[in-house]
Structure formats: C-alpha cells, structure tokens
Amino acid sequence: MLIAILLFVLGAQLAHWTWVFFAPASAPSTSTRDATADLAIAARLFGGTAISRETSTAANTSGLKLKGVVAPTPGTAASAIFNTGSGRDIAVFVDQEVQPGVKLVEVLPDAVTVSRAGVRERIELEARKGKGSGRAVTDARGLAPQFKLNVASSGNTYSLSRKELDDTLKDPQQYNLLGRISPNAVGGVKIEAAPPGSLSAKLGLQPGDLIKKVNGQVVLSPADLALLYQRFGTVSSIQAEVQRGTSTVQLTYAIQP
C-alpha cells in the first residue's frame, strides 16, 4: 500500500484493502472491514517483520490461495488475506479460522501456516509463486497493466490524491501492481521490483533503489515504513531520501485530499 506508501503510499498497502473479515457467527460491520483492509495493505507494502520459520508443515491440501500477509509490527496483529475459491478474498487474524476446521496459526513474510485437525500446512504467497520467469506481465493488447492511480510528476516531485489511492486499494486486483520491497542487510528498504505501470514505478522508484529516510527519519526496515504509514493521513508532503547506485536522490510527494 513504497516508500511505502509513502511511497507506496503510502499504503499499507499499499494495505488498506477491502476484504471481508471472516466471522463464522455473523457478518462483519463496516468498521471491522475497514480495519481489516488497513492491515492488509500494510502487508504488501511493507513486508512486515520476519517471524521464525522453524515449523514442520505439510504440503497445502486445503485449496486456499494466499493473496497477502500482514506480519506483526508494533501495535499491529498478524493477519493474512485468503481466497477460498468461493468469491471475495477474506482477511483472517492468527488463531482464527479460515474455513471450518482450518485455523491460521502463523504468518511469515511470504507464507502462512494453517492447522487442520492438528496437521500443519504451509501456504505460499501467490505473488511469490508467480515470480521467477523475470518476464513482465501484459494484457491482451501486449501492454503492461497499470495501477489505477493518476500521478502527476515534474522531475523528482510527484503529486497524487489520497482519496483516489484509497479507492484504488479497495480492489484486491490492484495488489499485484504495487511492486516489491525487502529489508536491506545494512539498513534501509530495498526496492526489489518496480514493473512498468506499478505503483512503485509511478512514484519514481526503480529496482535496486534503497529507501534510507522518510521526512528526515531513518528507515531501517519495512516495519519502520509501516509505522510511518500510520501518520500518512495527517501529512500533505512526504520527502524520501533514496540511494540509487552511488547517488542520493530526493523524491518529494505532494498528497492531495
């Protein structure tokens, strides 16, 4: 939701996404759905915080597809977004059921673990499964798909609408067009992928860019971006310091209502 929504807007998604929160007993309220959507966005945009992977899991036999994850960060519970094959994507918190008899027990940066009758199953993030060919995805006309956000730019200054971004992030299909980030060993957040038409590309980010500071604050990990995202709703300007090769690039984002 990258500079995370900041760049990504500043998202977080690049995670506010309109999924229905799974509630076995009753339909969720609008406020519950909104809260769940926010968790979701933050996941894709910021990558979350790494969690221990020391668990024995079986192959995924539940038929579930993992569309997004929100690893825990300060003040945020772990959750995941699934497609069960029966319609809309759903968001589920750890220790709650994804389906009758199937409970979410662990959230990782690129996978989750669910438990069915005491047997653990690992489910990989769909976006991870699809990567590897290195080929850009195109539509029927041979054009790269576009993240649905109008971004005006002049040099390294970009202008976008907060409302338009929020509206776009209500469409789960847009989560595949955010770009990809990862923690950097020596601090900062690295842009791993910024395909043409993606939100990251529209915000002036390039593969290999390293986000070092946002509004003067040092960024050490995707979790830091997630925390900064919480303040997004109150700011009208975002300054990002990005290391691009041996140069330092200053990117400015003007956030309109």
Residue 110, in any domain of the structure: yes
Higher-confidence residue: 44 or 256? 256
CATH assignment at residue 100: 2.30.30.830
- Residue 64 placed within a domain: yes
pTM, 2 dp: 0.53
* DSSP-H helix ranges across 141-210: 162-168, 199-202
Would 240 be classed as within a structural domain? no
Q: What is the mean pLDDT of the chain?
A: 68
Residues 6+ apart with CB under 8 A from 142: none
Residue 93 lies in a domain: yes
CA-closest candidate to residue 64, choices 15, 118, 129: 129
What is the pLDDT, as a whole number, of residue 18? 24
Q: How confident is the model at residue 60 (pLDDT cuts 50, 70, 90)?
A: low
Residue 209 lies in a domain: no
Q: Helix, strand or coil for residue 7? A: coil
Tokens of 27: 């339909």
DSSP 90-145: EEEETTSEEETTEEEEEE-SSEEEEEETTEEEEEEBHHHHH-SS-PPP--TTSPPP
Other beta carbons less than 10 A from residue 68's beta carbon: 30
Number of independent structural domains in the chain: 1
The predicted pLDDT at position 152 comes to 93
Closest C-alpha among 245, 217, 242 to residue 229: 217
- Give 113's strand partners: 106, 122
pLDDT at 71: 58
Range(s) of the domain holding residue 32? 22-37+50-130
Question: What pLDDT is stored for residue 154 in this prediction?
Answer: 93
Least confident of 21-25, 91-95, 143-147, 173-177: 21-25
Is residue 92 domain-resident? yes
Confidence of residue 140 (pLDDT cuts 50, 70, 90): very low
Domain contains 76: yes
Indicate the pLDDT class of residue 26, thresholds 50, 70 and 90: very low
Residue percentage of the chain with pLDDT more than 90: 12
Q: Flag whether 254 is in a domain.
A: no
Q: Distance between CA atoms of 182 and 165, rounded to whole angstroms?
A: 22
Where do we find the tokens 């199953």? 121
pLDDT of residue 225: 64
